[in-house]
Amino acid sequence: MFLLMSCVMPAALALPRQESVPGGVALLRLADRDAAPPRAWFQEKPVLVWQRGDGWYALVGLPLTIEPGVHALRIAATQAAPPREESLRFEVQPKAYPVQHVRIKDKRKVTPPPEDMERIEREQKTIADLKNHWRDEAQVDLAFALPADGPLSSRFGLRRVFNGEPRQPHSGLDVAVAAGTPVRSAAAGRVLNTGDYFFNGSTVFVDHGQGLITMYCHLQRIDVHAGEKLARGQQVGLAGASGRASGPHLHWSVFLNGTAVDPELLIQAR
């Protein structure tokens, strides 16, 4: 069965904010509140489902590379007999992101020499695995708070040019803060991984459940360890300029169903 859904939410469901564009999130109503918890998949990856207000909703991460147009979410009733699947169709609107030029003093961080590529490729695989991590969690904390106090310096999706060379779009949100500024977990969760990465520097990954992962990069110091449970607002480290950074700041990424999405869509009203 195919149903065409609009990405419109009741006023009571103001968080997170939906923006059905490349790099955004689609919020889709799946079932009535008293229905059994449904399951959902987008592009063959499981999707976060939660109960709120008048029903069950899916929070779908949309890749920056997705083509505008109509797409389908596959859903299944967990207690239907016989098992029943449906496809919910929804529309993705186009969005053009601006270009940002960045000057990096360490040219090795822009065009790495061959001796660094083995490390970079190994780390890319690790990060891909972390972004796609899934842990069942009935109560996912979606009331996100900005993880550091400071102005937003580089927003999500910017088409970046380092030292005149085009690179991947900006996959997170940069907060301009001084070195040593406390960095906090945006929501309740569990530390998934910590480590030092070639581009990201000292980094913390936090698992919030059901494929919702946050990443905190360029830290000066890490204050948590893998497996540690975190409350919303708990300190995970201090901001710095480790890895590929033009100066001290926090780079914060949010991943849903394995894809980076605009973190501002999940932040509570400021």
Q: What is the pLDDT along the chain (270 residues), one digit of tens a residue?
A: 434 444 444 333 445 889 999 999 999 999 998 888 899 999 999 999 999 888 999 999 999 999 999 999 999 987 665 667 899 999 999 999 988 787 877 777 778 889 899 999 999 999 999 999 999 998 899 989 999 999 999 899 988 788 777 778 899 999 999 999 999 999 999 999 999 999 999 999 999 999 999 999 999 999 999 999 999 999 999 999 999 888 999 999 999 999 999 999 999 744
Q: Are residues 50 and 126 in the same domain?
A: no
**Same domain membership, residue 145 and residue 84:** no
Residue 106 confidence (pLDDT): 75
Angle at 48 between CA 44 and CA 53, to 5 degrees: 140
* H-state helical runs in 17-143: 114-131
Q: Residue 43's CB: how many other CB atoms inside 10 A?
A: 17
| Domain encompassing residue 120 | 99-266
198: domain CATH number is 2.70.70.10
Question: Are 40 and 120 in the same domain?
Answer: no
Looking at the structure, tell me whether residues 84 and 103 fall in a common domain.
no
Residue 62 and residue 107 share a domain: no
Report d(CA 72, CA 87) in Å as an integer: 6
Number of helices (H), then strands (E), in the chain:
1, 21
Q: Are 110 and 87 contained in the same domain? A: no
Among residues 45, 67, 92, the one where a domain terminates is 92
Partners of residue 38 on adjacent β-strands: 77
Question: Where is the domain boundary, 92, 112, 134?
Answer: 92
Chosen domain end from 60, 92, 124: 92
* Residue 79: per-residue pLDDT: 66
Structural Rg of the chain based on CA atoms:
19
Contact assessment for residue 159 and residue 166, using Cβ atoms and an 8 Å cutoff: yes
Residue 222, beta-bridge partner list: 237
Residue 100: other Cβ atoms inside 10 A: 15
pLDDT for 12 equals: 39
